[in-house]
A and B are shown apart, each in its own frame.
Chain A
Amino acid sequence: MVQGYIKGESAIEDIPILQVTRLTKHFPVHGGIFLRKQGVIHAVDDVSFDVRKGQTLGLVGESGCGKTTLGRCIMGLYPLSGGSVKLHGQNINDVTGKEMKALRLKMQMIFQDPFESLNSRHTVGEILEEKYIIHNRLSNKKIGSVNSTSRRQEIVRLLERVGLSEQAMAKFPHEFSGGQRQRIGIARAISLEPEVLICDEPVSALDVSVQSQILNLMLTLQKDMGLTSVFISHDLAVVRHVSDLIAVMYLGKIVEMAEAEYIYSRPMHPYTKALLSAIPVPDPQAKRERIILKGEIPSPRNPPDGCRFHTRCEYVMDICRQEVPLLNSEESLKYTGTGDSNSPHMVACHLYSI
């Protein structure tokens, strides 16, 4: 059953392309003279979501809450401590060797500073060409021409697509500005026509006047190529602008997830409310009720028991200190009244489960 519907401007179909189930990632902490394992960092804990074709899931949360780790786990860059990541129903950690590499090429990642990820000794042309070569070695489905002049043509078209000119081919990454480097990073990520794009803070390092250029480029490409994406950022205005669905993370867990508009118009979780109220709005007339959170984010090495937000929550109850609240769509639907069975408004908070 393929039921397409139009959301915003992009066509979203009902097939989950990316399925993340109970994903958990712990990093061991070593210390002492023998560097023995002394504990674990709970970077990502029991996270589940589906992203359907053409959809963008926005992932927001404060520094250290596990956004990058989650993105890298989805890309298969870290072994998982638990749970699974499925692309088209296929578990990416089950397949091995060449097959896995080919599968992974269907997912690409864009980083905050593409400079770090672009090989500084190669020209932009070489960097982009390399991708084709690797791909064609791994996959039966050849992309691009074998012939080097027509491949060159393709790279030129790719560069134009991201707003760069042919001259860029002969230059090295360091000769470009931040915005241009991000365009190169995007060109490289889309060169192999991936299905899923994981974007980790793609505009955070850019000048304000350049951010909107890159956001526009990403929105256009996403629509044209039907890309499914996960967009990580701590900038809630940016995330709201590009996402269909938003997941709010706190200390390794998703505390609330819903369609983008509901997160902003009807936030349920006390943390989401505080987070939204803290964004500075560029309008001096806007009078807002600000919720100032007390204290700071606890260490993910010893996350608080029960609800991880209980040390800062103004509504904390006894149960919050003992029982982990679950991201329960059935329960929370009753309260939220927003969302539907297709994309329920889910919240992990005891306020909504009693």
Chain B
Amino acid sequence: MANATPLHQLILKRLHSNDNGEECSSGRDMKNDIILNVSNLVVSFNTENGRVRAVDGVGFKLRKATTLGIVGESGCGKSVTALSIMGLLPKPSGQIEYGTIEFKGQDLVSLMGKSTLQGKSDVRIGAALLGKPNIKASQAFGLKSDEIISQGESGKLYDMQKIRGRQISMIFQEPMTALNPVQKIGVQMNEVYQLHFPQMRRRDMDNASISMLAQVGIATPDKVIRQYPHELSGGMRQRVMIAMALSSKPDILIADEPTTALDVTVQAQILDMVNELQTKLAMSVILITHDLGVIAENCDDAVVMYGGRVAERAGVAELFSDPLHPYTQGLLKSIPGLSRAPRSILPTIKGQVPSLEKMPSGCRFSNRCDHVMEICRSVVPFEIEPVKGHFVACHKYSITPRSDIFKSHY
């Protein structure tokens, strides 16, 4: 740690400029650097009906200083993917069976495997990330409260913990699961500094908290640090959580439906703020949502998930102008848009998302797909790249010559 400059000033410096030392000053276009590379991730859970794969071979790349959107319907595995990256899967029922998560070239999955304290240290990370041993937050990850407290009290840092929470932060849909209801905001924010910057002085922490809260658009930060979470509105709580997540100066911010519970005008405020900070801090963001509009307006790249797998991924402009997967195509057609004739019958995707236990074999979309073929019901489609940078997992494209692909949807 550089002791010459007080830490909060370092943080402020980083907040106010893109130039934050060795990582970003190189001057070349860093947007093509891959900061996070998830490949072939398989995550399963123990359930009453045996082990089920909630995430089954998910892969994508996050480019430096860009926003990647993950979109998909309820239960398609968005949160499980995010929790896997954070090392916050509920233990012991959730397990990464296969795959790698490379962060700056280092595989987090094997790093996790090395730790003998695997489950427990992850738990502590979860709690630490969110403040002190936070009973409510940790319970959200399926833990018993006594376990959390005892785990949370020992303060030693492990490799994993250094990476997660400090270099990768996560914010959740419902801030109340992450905020401690009986502690003032300021106290909770200071705990993040204590954990990551133990030499920081109390006064500097307070100042850093205040300026961080101001950064996320809170008008009266000096008042808010003395308030309890319940005294704040939903939008303010979400801002506080973002401020906490950013106070460790993460390289990656994972936002899991950060605005789903909020009103549209507040959602617009929060997303604008995240975009602004993303540019300012040259941070990479993973934005999880079920709203295609949010993806279109806020992301550079997007991953469309269905039934625990990646159906399609591409740059956002490409994905919306030329969707390839039948599921993406159906979804885009079916949403009532302002450009559609009022009261007209909307195109639909038939049926509904099956539960994990009832997923069809082969392509998981095969029971709802209008283009289904024999092969789809038995063979899992591999991801292919029919257009550069545009990946799709669908048999239509693996057995059709390329020229036909384009004919078929014009």
Contacts and interface: CB of A to CB of B under 8 A. Distances in A.
Contacts of B265: 62, 274-275, 278, 293
B131 interface: no
B336 A238 contact: yes
B295 A281 contact: no
Interface stretch (A32-40, A45-53, A67-75, A215-223): A215-223
Contacts of B291: 280
B343 A212 contact: no
Interface in A7-57: 8-10
Given A209-B331, A241-B342, A284-B320, A292 B353 contact: no
B346 A281 contact: no
A129 interface: no
Contacts of A213: 348, 350
Contacts of A241: 336, 340, 342-344, 346
A208 B268 contact: no
A215 B347 CA distance: 11
B409 to A, nearest CB: 17
A101 B342 CA distance: 35
A284 B336 contact: no
Given A209-B334, A212-B335, A281 B342 contact: no
Interface string B310-335: 00000011001100000100111011
Contact of B266 (A207, A238, A279, A296): A296
B74 interface: yes
Interface in B200-232: 219
Interface residues of A, number: 48
A327 to B, nearest CB: 21
B338 A216 contact: no
B120 interface: no
A281 B264 contact: no
Contacts of B343: 8-10, 219, 241-242
A297 interface: yes
B338 A209 contact: no
Interface of A: 8-10, 62-63, 177, 179-180, 207-213, 215-216, 219-220, 234, 236-238, 240-243, 260-261, 264, 274-275, 277-286, 290, 292-293, 295-297
29 contacts: A8-B342, A62-B266, A179-B352, A207-B290, A208-B290, A208-B292, A208-B335, A213-B350, A219-B345, A237-B336, A240-B336, A241-B346, A261-B342, A275-B264, A275-B265, A279-B293, A279-B338, A280-B267, A280-B291, A280-B293, A281-B338, A282-B332, A282-B337, A283-B320, A283-B337, A290-B268, A292-B269, A293-B269, A297-B263
